[in-house]
Chain A
Amino acid sequence: MIAEPDERVPISVTVNGTRHETSATPRTLLVHLLRDELDLTGPHVGCVVGRCGACTVIWDGKVIKSCMVLAVQADGTEVETVEGLAADDGTLSPLQESFWANDAAECGYCTPGMLMAACGLLRENPAPSTAEIRTAISGNLCRCTGYVNIVKAIGDVAAAGKG
């Protein structure tokens, strides 16, 4: 098959456990599919050239930047966004609680990306060192420079064994 530039390509994608049958033109980025078609505005659009990490999501288990993937590539795959972290009744996840308790958000723009990068880290490495935490969020910029509290928040939840 070849999809023409103005053709809407069918995309079947599971996001935060819910299956969506949607579509997008080839030039549409995954972040725009999530935000504009699926109304999931947690993944933020920051730099748009893959440097800031505000659009970070987990894609088939891997932490990635959703502005660096085409929406059509997500067909048949699974995406997790920050909206999927809290329970259905709004109870925050331990990681979100820890960000709250540590004042790890200032303006909050980078927070969804930070949370997803941290979430991916803790799944693979439930007890990371401070250096490993810093490496894991090195692709996520916080222009308020609130890194100290972010690293502390991730470290606290790991130390509590709730990663």
Chain B
Amino acid sequence: MRPNAFAYTRPDTVDEALALLVEHGEDAKLLAGGQSLIPLMKLRVVYPAVVVDLNRIPGADGLSVDGEFVRFGALTRHVAVQRSAEIRRALPVVAEAVDELADVQVRNLGTVAGSAAEADPSGDWGPVLLAVGGEFVCRSTTGRRVVPVDGFFVDYLTSDLDHTEMIEEIRLRRPPARGAGSAYRKLERRVGDFAVVSTAVALTLDDDGRCTSIGVGVGGVGLTPYKAKSAEDLLRGTVVDQAALDEATELVRSEISPIDDGRGPAWYKRDTAGVFFQRTMAAALERARASLTGGNPA
């Protein structure tokens, strides 16, 4: 099984890559890690006339942490995220998701931006990005456009990215040093697979145990990764007890739109999403409370 024939080009700069996208229009595809694009090309689901290989562009694979954001470049690979001690400490939701993402081989090549651009509703990055919050910096020959994570996933396998744009940077909002807790839980049929359902939570508690901020992302339950805004709204500003959690769980279950497919029937995914939401919330709350009491947020 081989891809359709295509022309290949390997620009040395972002500007060159963007000019190629303008020149070749929708017939061109950007190749980053290739761990989704290449198999999709072999299956002839995708058949670009021109492949623009970004892998020789220097400096695009960075990962940096500043006061406000964790920043990934166009070519930052999953393995770099997985190995970052700072991310593991500050954003366990990210570390847990990357640990469960595919396998060693795919993590060594696959990129965060490529995975986000694929916009698979069952991918690991979608729910995590929606829970943590942040921005995509989309660059084209005419300039840069900042898209909030919340507006990036627009339809099945479709992001807000125009065919003349590339993701130059993904900025994940950095949680406060105190009171933050986050977690990711995924149900998979076999190790490294896409999610049957997955849930990501990132929240912050104040000293009274009140939830001051919360983000909830759910994977595998619709055409796009789902941001559970009603559940977030219900829990934000409250001290989260079991009754509130049960109410939020029912909101999550009622608002998602899973379908019957090879990974399971819709009713099963709906029910499981609630179970996983509760487990993820419990882990995130425990970490946030440990952070407040100075304990070790295991």
Residues of A near any B CB (own CB < 8 A): 1-6, 9, 25-29, 32, 48-50, 53, 56, 62-65, 67-70, 72-73, 117, 120-121, 135-136, 138-140
Shortest Cβ distance from A80 into chain B, in angstroms? 14
Shortest Cβ distance from A72 into chain B, in angstroms? 6
Q: A138–B50 Cα gap in the complex (Å)?
A: 33
Q: A70–B192 Cα gap in the complex (Å)?
A: 23
Residues of B near any A CB (own CB < 8 A): 1-10, 31, 34-35, 38-39, 42-43, 50-51, 53, 55, 79, 102-106, 108-109, 191-192
17 pairs from A and B in contact (CB 8 Å cutoff):
A5-B5, A9-B8, A28-B2, A50-B38, A50-B105, A63-B105, A63-B108, A65-B105, A69-B34, A70-B8, A120-B104, A135-B104, A138-B104, A138-B192, A139-B105, A139-B106, A139-B192
Which residues of chain A have C-beta atoms less than 8 A from B55's C-beta? Answer: 73
Excluding A26-B7, A65-B106, A138-B191, 16 further A-B contacts by CB distance (< 8 Å) are A26-B5, A27-B5, A48-B1, A49-B42, A50-B39, A53-B105, A63-B104, A68-B38, A68-B109, A69-B38, A70-B38, A72-B10, A73-B34, A138-B104, A139-B102, A139-B106
Which residues of chain B have C-beta atoms less than 8 A from A5's C-beta? Answer: 5-7
Which residues of chain A have C-beta atoms less than 8 A from B51's C-beta? Answer: 26, 70
Question: Are the CB atoms of A53 and B103 closer together than 8 Å?
Answer: yes
Which residues of chain B have C-beta atoms less than 8 A from A120's C-beta? Answer: 104
Question: Are the CB atoms of B106 and A117 closer together than 8 Å?
Answer: no
Q: A73–B3 Cα gap in the complex (Å)?
A: 15
* Given known A50-B38, A53-B103, A138-B103, contact A27–B4 (CB-CB < 8 A): yes
Q: A137–B76 Cα gap in the complex (Å)?
A: 23
* Given known A63-B105, A68-B105, contact A29–B2 (CB-CB < 8 A): yes
Q: A26–B9 Cα gap in the complex (Å)?
A: 9
Of all chain A residues, the one with the shortest Cβ separation from B9 is: A2
Q: Which listed residue (B3, B9, B50, B108) contacts A64, Cβ 8 A?
A: B108
Which residues of chain A have C-beta atoms less than 8 A from B10's C-beta? Answer: 1, 72
Q: A48–B41 Cα gap in the complex (Å)?
A: 11
Q: A27–B49 Cα gap in the complex (Å)?
A: 11
Q: A34–B50 Cα gap in the complex (Å)?
A: 24
Which residues of chain A have C-beta atoms less than 8 A from B35's C-beta? Answer: 50, 68
Q: A120–B6 Cα gap in the complex (Å)?
A: 32
Which residues of chain A have C-beta atoms less than 8 A from B108's C-beta? Answer: 62-64
Which residues of chain B have C-beta atoms less than 8 A from A56's C-beta? Answer: 105
Q: A80–B9 Cα gap in the complex (Å)?
A: 25
Question: Are the CB atoms of B50 and A69 closer together than 8 Å?
Answer: no
Q: Which listed residue (A3, A50, A67) contacts B8, Cβ 8 A?
A: A3
Of all chain B residues, the one with the shortest Cβ separation from A75 is: B10
Question: Are the CB atoms of B104 and A73 closer together than 8 Å?
Answer: no
Which residues of chain B have C-beta atoms less than 8 A from A69's C-beta? Answer: 34, 38, 109
Which residues of chain B have C-beta atoms less than 8 A from A70's C-beta? Answer: 8, 31, 34, 38, 51, 53
Shortest Cβ distance from B197 into chain A, in angstroms? 20
* Given known A50-B106, A73-B55, contact A3–B39 (CB-CB < 8 A): no
Q: A153–B20 Cα gap in the complex (Å)?
A: 49
Q: A73–B34 Cα gap in the complex (Å)?
A: 11
Which residues of chain A have C-beta atoms less than 8 A from B3's C-beta? Answer: 27, 29
Of all chain A residues, the one with the shortest Cβ separation from B110 is: A68
Which residues of chain B have C-beta atoms less than 8 A from A136's C-beta? Answer: 104
Which residues of chain B have C-beta atoms less than 8 A from A53's C-beta? Answer: 103, 105
Q: Which listed residue (A6, A49, A64) contacts B1, Cβ 8 A?
A: A49
Q: A69–B31 Cα gap in the complex (Å)?
A: 10
